[in-house]
Amino acid sequence: MPISISPTGPISTPTRSVTSTEPGDSLRAELVEQIAGAQGELESNIEVLRQAAVAGGDAGALGQAEAQLHALTRLQHKISRADPATLAAIRAEVVASVAASVALTQTARTSAASAQTAEVALHAAQTEARRAVTDFTHDFYERKIFDPYLEFSSEEEKRAYREREEQRRREIEKAHAEGTPDGDLRAANLAIAQLEDAGAHGADQSPDYNTGLAGLKTARDSLAARIGEQMTPTKATAAIAKGQSAPAENSLELDPELLASLRATGVTVADTTTQGHGVAKGQASPAQAAIRV
Q: What is the pLDDT of residue 59?
A: 67
Percent of the residues in the chain that have a pLDDT greater than 70, as a whole number: 65
* Cβ-Cβ contacts under 8 Å for 133 (sequence gap 6 or more): 172, 176, 184, 187, 188, 191, 216, 219
Q: Which residue, among 273, 268, 275, 266, has the nearest Cα to 287 in the 3D structure? A: 273
The confidence score (pLDDT) of residue 20 equals 42
The answer on pLDDT for 278 being more than 60 is no
Distance between CA 42 and CA 157 in Å, rounded? 65
Taking CA atoms, 77 is separated from 35, 87, 156, 161, 218, in Å, by 11, 12, 80, 73, 57
- Integer Cα distance of 61 and 233 in angstroms: 11
Task: Work out the angle at residue 197's Cα, subtended by the Cα atoms of residues 193 and 200, and round it to the nearest 5 degrees.
Answer: 140
Residue range 51-78, pLDDT digits in tens: 766 665 566 767 787 888 888 888 888 8
pLDDT value at 194 more than 70: yes
Please give the residue that has the higher pLDDT: either 85 or 174.
Answer: 174
So what's the pLDDT on residue 187? 97
In this prediction, residue 283 carries a pLDDT of 40
Q: What is the pLDDT of residues 127-166, one digit of tens each?
A: 999 999 999 999 999 999 999 999 999 999 999 999 999 9
249 alpha carbon, distance to own chain's centre: 16
Pair 144, 166: CB distance under 8 Å: no
Helix, strand and coil content of the chain, in percent to the nearest 5, comes to 70, 5, 30
Q: What is the pLDDT of residue 25?
A: 78
Count of residues in the chain: 293
Distance CA 146, CA 198 (A): 8
Does 175 have pLDDT greater than 90? Answer: yes
Write the burial class of residue 14 (CB in 10 Å: 0-12 exposed, 13-18 middle, 19+ buried): exposed
> How confident is the model at residue 16, as a pLDDT?
45
Per-residue pLDDT, 86: 80
Q: Return d(Cα 24, Cα 29) in angstroms, integer.
A: 9
Question: From CA 195, how far away is CA 209, in angstroms rounded?
Answer: 8
Say what the pLDDT of residue 2 is.
Answer: 53
Q: Which H or E element spans position 187? A: helix 181-199
User: How big is the CA angle at 98 (ends 92 and 99), to the nearest 5 degrees?
Assistant: 90
Q: What is the dihedral of CA 73, 74, 79, 80, to 10 degrees?
A: 80
Mean pLDDT of the chain: 75
Higher pLDDT, 240 or 77: 77
Percent of the chain at pLDDT > 90 equals: 36
Residue 67 class from Cβ within 10 Å (0-12 exposed, 13-18 middle, 19+ buried)?
exposed
The whole-angstrom separation of Cα 232 and Cα 215 is: 29
What was the pLDDT predicted at 55?
60
Whole-model pTM? 0.52
pLDDT(250) > 60: no
Please state whether 283 falls in left (phi above 0), alpha (psi between -120 and 50) or beta: beta
* pLDDT band (50, 70, 90) for residue 232: low
Model pLDDT, residue 206: 96
d(CA 170, CA 180): 17
pLDDT for residue 181 is more than 90: yes
Helix axes 181-199 and 209-229, enclosed angle (nearest 10):
150
The residue type at 220: R
